[in-house]
């Protein structure tokens, strides 16, 4: 599939499907749209009337028009209210158009353009390609028909080839994250995650270090928290550290740390009926997005040094499993009473954050499918954001707005740490039920000394049960686009 930008008028474009955009409650035909309606013998107005098309965001109306007019199908797409227009409105419109035209060979897209042309072209590219992505790797006979689209022309956006290319690169990172999350735990393991990192490093010239178990035991005072989580698994842990370095002097040095539990059964606090244990292949969604961001960043080549950290392991049960009540010692010397073996992600991140801070970066962002409490608080579409640094939080929120990914800043209420205090160790790994996502963030905060740090709890948005917007069912690739945008700020 090839996406190009053209200056062709919608009146002169020929091909299979032509998509035209409308703002909500602004479906009166004027200018080129009125001329198109006349050219098509009134079909545009008929479609608006018959389908009661109002232009609401992401909605479509479709009609066959006959090839004698140079096109075979007309697609109307809504952009929502003009006063509410955002860059993501174009991304979602692109997704809706792509789904409506996926069985056609060629598509022309003509939308009202408000804003930077390069950003609109990139957003449309992302929406189109992500909506058309299908992950049929594990089906012997895929049920869904493969898209037939070969040519897509973005009308009125001539000269934006670089923006389209940037969108395609961004999509490549999102799709990598999606497919890592979608794959079952017998396919994506700590070993295969390390192999994926090796492939990225080889293809894009990244530096890569894989710390084996012995290396982790010897780091500082030993990564006892991370290694404790994985000690019941037959698959060895793999601590992945990948580095992108620009050709010239880096203007700053950043780190992205992704929770990478390739499967989480809960340990001896076993997840039981109704717990969603069968979905716990997604518990490495943070690590998947970290590798997806690495793939995009390595191709886009910012003048920023970026470190990508994935402490990959499994949380399993066996005679070697950590027990509820065990005390683990993290690599900074802090001791942790494990009162719930199913609160394991924060244990792996504890040692990962200590390691990352020794790299002397300017800021650290960790991302994790960390708590169900965050899903209860914010639902499936919004990620929680905690930060020790308001400037960093502002950067991430701006990056997310541009990406069309939703975050809500939550409080680091230090008083709540009282619930994590242990009588026999420095802290417990879980606190009381109220404010569970906040106490999880406060736990992680104990493993950061001075570096500006933000924690993203992505438990809700990393997975979609049904197609919505630019996402299909399954892994969403959240928040790859936000991370890439943040690095480029």
pLDDT digits over 204-240, tens only? 999 999 999 999 999 999 999 999 999 999 999 999 9
Which of residues 66 and 74 earns the better pLDDT score? 74
Cβ-based neighbours of 4, under 8 Å, separated by 6 or more: 151, 152, 153, 154, 161, 164
- Per-residue pLDDT at 66: 81
Q: Which residues are designated catalytic?
A: 271, 346
The whole-number average pLDDT for the span 96-116 is: 97
CA distance 264 to 255: 25
Cβ-based neighbours of 298, under 8 Å, separated by 6 or more: 200, 204, 205, 206, 244
Cβ-based neighbours of 218, under 8 Å, separated by 6 or more: none
Q: Are 223 and 331 in contact (CB under 8 A)?
A: yes
The encoded tokens of residue 119 equal: 């950003």
Q: Is the pTM of this model over 0.85?
A: yes
Closest CA to 467 of 113, 111, 95: 95
The whole-number average pLDDT for the span 241-260 is: 98
Inform me whether the pLDDT recorded for 276 exceeds 90. Answer: no
- Per-residue pLDDT at 220: 96
- Per-residue pLDDT at 146: 85
State the architecture of 170-487 in CATH terms. Answer: 3-Layer(aba) Sandwich (3.40)
The whole-number average pLDDT for the span 109-115 is: 97
Domain boundaries, the chain: 2-136+147-158, 170-487
3-state helix, strand, coil in the chain (%, to 5): 40, 20, 40
State the architecture of 2-136+147-158 in CATH terms. Answer: 3-Layer(aba) Sandwich (3.40)
pLDDT class for 118, splitting at 50, 70, 90?
Answer: very high
- Per-residue pLDDT at 142: 77
């Amino acid at each position: 599939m090839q996406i190009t930008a053209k200056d062709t008028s919608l009146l002169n474009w020929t091909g299979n499907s032509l998509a035209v955009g409308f703002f909500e409650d602004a479906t009166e035909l004027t200018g080129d749209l009125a001329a198109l309606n006349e050219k098509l013998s009134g079909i545009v107005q008929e479609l608006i009337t018959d389908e009661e098309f109002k232009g609401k965001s992401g909605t479509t109306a479709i009609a066959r028009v006959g090839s004698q007019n140079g096109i075979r199908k007309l697609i109307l797409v809504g952009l929502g209210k003009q006063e509410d227009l955002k860059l993501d409105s174009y991304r979602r419109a692109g997704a809706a158009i792509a789904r409506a035209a996926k069985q056609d060979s060629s598509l022309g897209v003509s939308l009202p353009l408000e804003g930077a042309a390069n950003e609109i072209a990139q957003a449309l590219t992302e929406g189109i390609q992500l909506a058309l992505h299908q992950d049929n790797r594990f089906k012997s006979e895929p049920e869904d028909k493969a898209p037939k689209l070969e040519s897509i022309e973005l009308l009125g956006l001539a000269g934006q080839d670089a923006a389209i290319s940037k969108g395609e690169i961004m999509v490549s990172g999102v799709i990598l994250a999606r497919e890592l999350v979608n794959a079952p735990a017998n396919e994506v393991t700590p070993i295969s995650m390390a192999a994926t990192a090796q492939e990225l490093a080889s293809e894009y010239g990244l530096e890569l270090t894989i710390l084996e178990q012995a290396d982790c035991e010897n780091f500082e005072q030993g990564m006892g928290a991370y290694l404790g989580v994985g000690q019941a698994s037959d698959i060895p842990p793999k601590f992945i550290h990948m580095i992108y370095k620009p050709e010239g002097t880096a203007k700053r040095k950043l780190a992205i740390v992704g929770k990478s539990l390739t499967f989480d059964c809960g340990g001896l606090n076993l997840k039981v009926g109704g717990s969603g244990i069968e979905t716990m292949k997604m518990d490495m969604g943070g690590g998947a997005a970290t590798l997806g961001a690495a793939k995009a960043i390595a191709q886009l080549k910012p003048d920023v040094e970026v470190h990508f950290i994935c402490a990959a392991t499994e949380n399993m049960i066996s005679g070697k499993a950590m027990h509820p009540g065990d005390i683990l010692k993290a690599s900074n010397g802090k001791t942790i009473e494990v009162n719930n073996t199913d609160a394991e992600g924060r244990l792996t991140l504890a040692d990962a954050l200590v390691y990352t801070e020794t790299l002397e970066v300017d800021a650290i962002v960790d991302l994790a499918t960390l708590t169900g409490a965050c899903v209860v608080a914010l639902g499936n579409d919004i990620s929680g954001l905690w930060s020790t640094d308001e400037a960093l939080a502002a950067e991430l929120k701006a990056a997310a707005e541009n990406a069309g990914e939703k975050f809500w800043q939550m409080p680091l209420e230090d008083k709540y740490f009282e619930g994590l205090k242990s009588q026999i160790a420095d802290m417990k790994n879980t606190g009381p039920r109220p404010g569970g996502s906040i106490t999880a963030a406060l736990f992680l905060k104990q493993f950061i000394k001075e570096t500006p740090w933000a924690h993203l709890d992505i438990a809700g948005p990393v997975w979609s049960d049904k197609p919505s917007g630019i996402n299909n069912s399954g892994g969403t690739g959240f928040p790859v686009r936000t991370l890439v945008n943040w690095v480029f700020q």
